[in-house]
């Protein structure tokens, strides 16, 4: 909970525990529904693109 309140804009996953959701400023989709990417797109206005496995370069 400290991280949610410290963040400035606390974001909880849709499937988080009730106490976490209650402390958050925003509740995004669940982790099974790409909640992190959805929240980043919403708050950071990132242009999302789907990649295939072959398109991603690994170091």
Dump pLDDT digits (tens) for 6-46: 888 889 999 999 999 999 999 999 999 999 988 888 887 75
Split at pLDDT 50, 70, 90, the class of 49 is: low
Split at pLDDT 50, 70, 90, the class of 52 is: low
Q: Indicate the DSSP class of residue 34.
A: T
**More confident position, 49 or 20:** 20
Going from the C-alpha of 56 to that of each of 3, 5, 22, the distances in angstroms are 31, 34, 37
CA atoms 9, 39, 36, 13: torsion sign: positive
Instruction: Tell me which residue has tokens 């499937």.
Output: 15
User: For the CA atoms of 32, 48, 13, 5, what is the dihedral angle to 10 degrees?
Assistant: 160
Domain locations in the chain as residue ranges = 2-50
């Amino acid at each position: 909970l400290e991280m949610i309140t410290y963040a400035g804009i606390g974001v909880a996953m849709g499937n988080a525990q009730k106490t976490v959701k209650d402390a958050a400023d925003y509740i995004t989709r669940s982790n099974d529904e790409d909640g992190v990417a959805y929240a980043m797109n919403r708050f950071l206005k990132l242009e999302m693109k789907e990649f295939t496995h072959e398109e991603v370069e690994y170091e």
